[in-house]
Amino acid sequence: MKTFITLTLLFIACVAHAQDGTPVGDALTGNSKLNVVVAVVGVIVLGIGIWMFAMDRKLSRMEKRMDK
């Protein structure tokens, strides 16, 4: 397992070093796309949080009914 992790990290380092051009952050910031990406990720995380909260409430109600 240790060898697999080492080879994976080595491969990632080689791929990252092989990239040329502008970094992704500069490209996204220059085109104002970074704000859109952050907004979309925020909406997704917020949606998952609301869904988890709703599921917790439903499960709590079901557990209370089962105890009676």
> What pLDDT was estimated at residue 66?
92
Q: Does residue 18 surpass a pLDDT of 60?
A: no
Expressed as residue numbers, the domain containing 40 is 21-67
Q: Is residue 13 part of a domain?
A: no
> What pLDDT was estimated at residue 67?
86
Number of domains in the chain: 1
Q: Is residue 16 part of a domain?
A: no
Q: Is residue 41 part of a domain?
A: yes
> What pLDDT was estimated at residue 16?
59
Q: Is residue 38 part of a domain?
A: yes
> CA 31: distance to chain centroid?
22
Q: Is residue 7 part of a domain?
A: no
Q: Is residue 4 part of a domain?
A: no
Q: Is residue 48 part of a domain?
A: yes
Q: Is residue 36 part of a domain?
A: yes
33-68, pLDDT tens digit by residue? 778 888 999 999 999 999 999 999 999 999 999 987
> What pLDDT was estimated at residue 61?
94
